[in-house]
Structure 1
Amino acid sequence: MTFAASEPGDHDPVPSDVLATGELTVLGRIVSASNATLVCEATLDDVTVRCVYKPIRGEQPLWDFPDGTLAGREVASYLVSEALGWSVIPRTILRDGPYGPGMVQRWVPTPESVGDRGERLDLVDICPPDRVPDGWFRILQAYDGEGEEVTLIHADDPRLQRVAVLDVLLNNADRKGGHALEGTDGSVYGVDHGICLHAENKLRTVLWGWAGQRIGGDLLVDIESFEVALRGDLADRLAEYVTSGEVEALRMRTRDLLTNPVMPQPTTNRPIPWPAF
């Protein structure tokens, strides 16, 4: 039997139909998640892929996201990432599973999950104020449960910055530190996009380090191509998962970012999700 769990992303050689039609076997549940989140294996023709399965029946209703499903928003967010050509979000589909229809997403192996993280910091982390590495962004000063002062930080890393720009386009209301993963393949991925793409400004993120900075030209080239794609079939595909008003809001955010290519500053009284991880 061939295992493909160590090769995340759509650039890997594993046939995509394994995730779409392979038999799902539940291995366990991520108990810290607010909605039902199951770790599974999808198996087809002796090829097995590790994945995350979030059945729609396990979603908690949200008063401010009354339309569609969280699973559908995850798929729509993946389509946006792919249309940009960034592959920030692991392959994500909507399919049937052991507990009914739900979101299925390829698992991202990380150095920590395979035991070679050592003492290095994650791309988003917490440390004492006097141990912040040179060049890292300080996002928030706080106290831990024992009353010790700590600092929420993140790396000034172009791979992570691309995640931050994607969040602006997606209007991500829940970019926690644990939702930005450095894969064992060297890429940085974003996961957990169930509360994205609202028409109203709901951007909440730990990735505020680039606030007020101009967006690089290479990213803008991709955003320009994405804006063109939104005039075509992509808008219809997104409308299968979110409202037409939310698709239009995405189009406006894209145009605004092209007109003024600067990362936004926090504008709400709750710019960081809680908990932050």
Structure 2
Amino acid sequence: MPASERVPEVGLNPGPAAAGPGDPLDTEALAHGELTVKGRVRDASNAVLYCESVHQGRTVVCVYKPVAGERPLWDFPDGTLAQREVAAYLVSEATGWGLIPPTVLREGPYGQGMVQRWIDPPAVPGEGAEEGSGTPDGAGEPPQLLALTEEMEPAPGWKAVVEAELEEGRTALLVHADDIRLRRIAVLDAVINNADRKGGHLLPAADGRIYGIDHGVTFHTEDKLRTLLWGWAGEPLPAEALTVLDKLAAELDGALGDRLATLLTTAETAALRARVRRLQATGAHPAPGGEWPSIPWPPV
């Protein structure tokens, strides 16, 4: 992006926006609205622009990742991250779980790119409320998804991921919540071969959902699953996940497969079908393979 066209930087919560995604009119506004850049999200490895899309009087807050702002990667073809983000959204929608905010591929001020509905975090309890307003303690608190503990066994309600080295030679156990919402994301990541499931890519929302974002490095033909959600590795998949895999297998041979063929290569869609079949056959969450780092870096 030329220096003369730089936009103001913003933090990860630059201001209020309408509550959670899911309205078809919002998706239509993302795809067809007038896209205006309001700022740039800091600390992103690629260009991530904070925008508003206005369509027929409806304003949707979103992020826009232009292909022109993607940094080249050694193991993914240049200029394909936006398409992979949209492909991940389509697979998420096919599961029926709604794990990724509405995402479209479209033209914008800096050329073609991915546009995705912005997700606001839950309100901090008491923030902006009058004293004595009667808000219950803990109402609206975002769930704790990841933690470090110096205990070597996870507490009830938590799953162990990996031992971590701390200062002064101390060690701690990285754990994640044993939460069905996270478990669904773990299944989706295994399907789309997500190489970058960091903690910061898990967004608790005000509507109680947990959304996954940043799916540009997905759908590789080689096994590149890197995630902080290894706590269920080797465990049997929940019954609902097996039902979803059956549904995906059928849809990949139909309309979903046709749509993905416009975003991914023939080899990548074939590898996707193979991963779904493998998960159906094993009936279990995958485990780290050892030939590829299993934890993304940085982890957050």
User: Same fold judged by TM-score > 0.5?
Assistant: yes
RMSD across aligned C-alpha pairs, in angstroms? 2.4
1:195 maps to 2:217? yes
Query: Aligned residue for 2:294?
Result: 271
- Percent identity over the alignment is 50
User: How big is the shift at 1:17?
Assistant: 1.6
Instruction: Give the Cα separation in 1 of the matches to 2:204 and 2:65.
Output: 22
Whole-angstrom CA distance in 2 between matches of 1:130 and 1:116: 29
Alignment correspondent of 1:84: 95
**Structure 2: distance between partners of 1:9 and 1:160:** 18
Letter in 1 for 2:124: G
Mean Cα deviation higher: 12-21 or 236-245: 12-21
Q: Deviations over 1:147-181 (max 9, x none)?
A: 76443221000011000000000000000011111
Residue number among 98, 105, 114 corresponding to 1:103 in the alignment: 114
TM-score when normalising by structure 1: 0.90
Q: Is the 8 A contact 1:4 1:47 kept in 2?
A: no
TM-score, length-normalised on structure 2? 0.83
Does the 8 Å CA contact 1:126/1:150 hold for their aligned counterparts?
A: no
- Report the CA distance shift for 1:255/1:207 in structure 2 as closer, same or farther (over 3 A): same
1:192–1:208 distance in 2 versus 1, CA, 3 Å? same
1:115 counterpart = 2:138 = no
Selected match of 2:205 from 183, 205, 209: 183
Distance 1:14 1:46, change over 3 A: same
1:258 counterpart residue number: 280
Larger deviation, residues 194-203 vs 120-129 = 120-129
Amino acid aligned to 1:23: E
Question: Alpha carbons of 1:262 and 1:38: their partners in 2 closer, same or farther (altered >3 Å)?
Answer: same
Q: How many pairs were matched up?
A: 272
Higher alpha-carbon Rg: 2
- Cross-structure match for 1:126: 147
1:5 corresponds to which of 11, 14, 17: 17
Corresponding residue for residue 6 of structure 2:
none
- Alpha-carbon distance in structure 1 between the residues aligned to 2:26 and 2:216: 26
Rate the CA distance shift 1:13–1:252 in 2: closer, same or farther, 3 A.
closer
Question: CA separation in 2, counterparts of 1:99 and 1:147?
Answer: 48
Which sits farther off after the overlay, 211-220 or 157-166? Answer: 211-220
**Number of the residue aligned with 1:162:** 184
